[in-house]
Amino acid sequence: MAVTKEAFPGTSSSVVTTTKAGTFIPEIWSDEVIAAYKKNLVLANLVRKMSFRGKKGDTLHIPKPVRGSASAKSAATAVTIQADTESEVQVLINKHYEYSRFIEDITEAQALASLRSFYTEDAGYALAKRIDTDLVQLGRAFNGATVGTDDYATSASSTKAYIGSDGTTAYNSSSSNAAALTDAAIRRTIQRLDDNDIPMDGRFFLIPPSSRNTLMGLARYTEQAFIGNGDAIRNGEIGQLYGMAVFASSNADTGAGSSGTDRICLMGHKDSMVLVEQLGIRSQTQYKQEYLGTLFTADTIYGVKALRTSATSSASNASAAFALAVPA
């Protein structure tokens, strides 16, 4: 009986050949793997993270309690029972991403051990970047915006984002009125979080590289109001500003603007969004004898959700994040 050969796992251009892996072969280059600059991945470590590993289903139901209020107690009267207005947030676990490489035996035999470790590290980075990007784009859902839109604002009447110079003027993507970050805009955005009763503990400020450059020119950066914590514990953290951790990341979101290059600074709280992991980053290898090589695959399954997004400060889900539009 004829044996049907399994289809090749990829295309000829996706195979790691001796030519493509030449930089890993000692006869040609040194054994040091010079990796390209890797973007700082930060937001996945700043928001609420929940594990759904080992559980079946595609939706996680998260209870959403509503804060009550104290009632005056008069003598000989019954206590006031708080109204039951609790709800829930449903997180759809619908994101499945993978990263695969096929490494031929001849390449693995001639290359240093660092070859495989490089691709393993690269796979983790690529998947983490994907997760971080999905979280960053949730910033478009706050302050009354709609999840999934490609823009933060289409007119000056929109309140999806404010400009970086004052934190008060609405961002208009049609005319691209984004402006450089100022101390006044930072303070105004902090006030918006305060007005929405967002706790100080757990706040973060995610900025693009251009705004980090701007911060370095602000007086507050060199004063005690902006200091580093002395520990490089969280990737991308560059200091504390008004008691809030500041992170610089090239994964910061973009605003359409007139040229599609405006960037977004996002100030929020860890409870503003959630990352639910059903399958953490998993690595697998399978030897393909018919092609004399090894197929390496890493994948992950997860879901993300914006939690407190209302543009109304009195709402129980008043926005826990605000965006400032700045030039790239």
Cβ atoms 137, 253 nearer than 8 A: yes
Model confidence pLDDT, tens digit, residues 154-201: 655 555 789 999 999 988 877 778 899 999 999 999 999 999 989 999
pLDDT at 222 over 80: no
Reading the block at residue 187, the tokens are: 């303070």
Asked if 325 and 151 touch (Cβ cutoff 8 Å), the reply is: no
Residues 9 and 295 sit within 8 Å (Cβ to Cβ): yes
Pairing state of beta strands 262-269 and 273-288?
unpaired
Of the listed ranges 157-166, 220-229, 274-283, the one predicted with least confidence: 220-229
- Quick one: pLDDT at residue 236? 61
What's residue 231's pLDDT? 47
Domains of the chain: 151-275+307-326 (3.30.2320)
19 pLDDT more than 90: no
Instruction: Provide the pLDDT for residue 6.
Output: 66
For the chain, give the mean pLDDT: 77
The region, left, alpha or beta by phi > 0 then psi within -120 to 50, assigned to residue 271 is alpha
Short-list 255, 267, 269, CA closest to 323: 267
Please name the amino acid found at residue 216. M
pLDDT exceeds cutoff 60 at 40 = no
Residue 251 burial (CB count, 10 A): 20
100 CB neighbour count, 10 Å cutoff? 15
Round the CA-based radius of gyration of the chain to a whole number and report it: 24
Please give the distance of CA 231 from its chain centroid, rounded to a whole number: 22
- C-alpha to C-alpha distance for 222 and 212, rounded to whole angstroms: 13
At 266, list the tokens.
Answer: 């996002």
Question: Mean pLDDT throughout 20-35?
Answer: 39
Q: Could you tell me the pTM of the whole model?
A: 0.79
Across 131-135, 310-314, 316-320, the highest mean pLDDT is recorded for: 131-135
